[in-house]
A = this chain, B = another copy of it.
């Protein structure tokens, strides 16, 4: 495979001139420019991008850390990141972690070794302290509220979102409310839990731990929840469901097992995925695509030096009333 020196030799110019031509810099005589392009074509030359990366000290790749690719919540975010990245000539390196700290660390290491110019963390298990150790290696954007930790972020106000759902249910007369969540740890989950408890406190009601369903991620988990509900003596009358997928599962498996929504169980879910519309589920719209886009924009602002301080952006949510309450 030809390299830039061979091109230089064949074109009768220096490597510097070749580089200038290849990168469309000014100050090259037209004849030399021609000669270089001719040589490039003759030798079927292509840059070795790894040499470029080494020389430039950057790769135009940003890493995306997320637990699962195959989940609408995360692939929406990735979609958003991807769209913006494309517009700016960046590529995406995917790190599917399954919430494994070891894998998260490996991904972070990619920032140190300059495999990626920056990192967007869609969700994580690793601690903020640990993350901070990597801040000096390049920009990191978190998709969660980073209040109190001095890191950049774009986030959805999950407290507000849950509060919105809770108050809606309460206004509709519900008092026995539970919720379904993907996991109980993590900033986003903790914010939601706080809203849940605060909302209940507002109506002088104590939370019931058995009405909190953990590990609810996909449709099939809805079936599990339905089963659990059916075997309960004292059931909640309403559920906040942190994913439209799970909500869909609850509605559909509920139908088959005699747990009708909203007759026997009211549901407010989150995401506003098309499935919620199709099932008439009242949901809180979460701007996931925008969050991905914004995340890239923030990181890009760091690259172009537009931003040097930590940025924190909060995206608005809104409740979409349908027929599941």
Interface residues of A (CB under 8 A from B): 46-51, 53-54, 59, 61, 68-72, 75-76, 78-79, 82-83, 86, 91-96, 103, 109-110, 112-115, 218-220, 222-223, 248-249, 252-253, 274-275, 277-279
Contact = CB atoms under 8 A, between A and B. Distances in A.
B112 A46 contact: yes
Nearest to A48: B114
B91 A96 contact: no
A113 B46 contact: yes
Instruction: Tell me the dominant secondary structure on chain A's binding face.
Output: helix
Contact of A114 (B50, B114, B277): B50
A281 to B, nearest CB: 11
Chain B CB within 10 A, most for which of A70, A115, A248, A277: A70
Contact of A72 (B46, B53, B70, B82): B70
* Copies of this chain, count: 2
A96 B82 contact: yes
A109 B48 CA distance: 11
Chain B CB within 10 A, most for which of A50, A76, A110: A50
A68 B277 CA distance: 21
A86 to B, nearest CB: 7
A192 to B, nearest CB: 23
A274 B72 CA distance: 13
Nearest to A71: B75
A226 to B, nearest CB: 11
A54 B279 CA distance: 53
Contacts of A110: 49, 91
A219 B220 CA distance: 18
A47 B114 CA distance: 9
Give me the 8 closest cross-chain CB pairs, A-B, nearest first: A70-B79, A49-B113, A50-B53, A252-B278, A219-B274, A50-B54, A70-B75, A92-B94
12 contacts: A46-B113, A47-B113, A50-B115, A61-B93, A68-B79, A69-B69, A70-B75, A70-B76, A86-B103, A93-B94, A94-B94, A249-B278
Contacts of A114: 48-50
Given A49-B113, A78-B94, 12 more contacts: A46-B109, A46-B112, A48-B54, A50-B115, A69-B75, A82-B94, A86-B103, A91-B93, A91-B115, A92-B94, A218-B274, A248-B278
Nearest to A280: B256
A253 B277 CA distance: 10
B278 A222 contact: yes
Nearest to A250: B278
Contacts of A59: 50
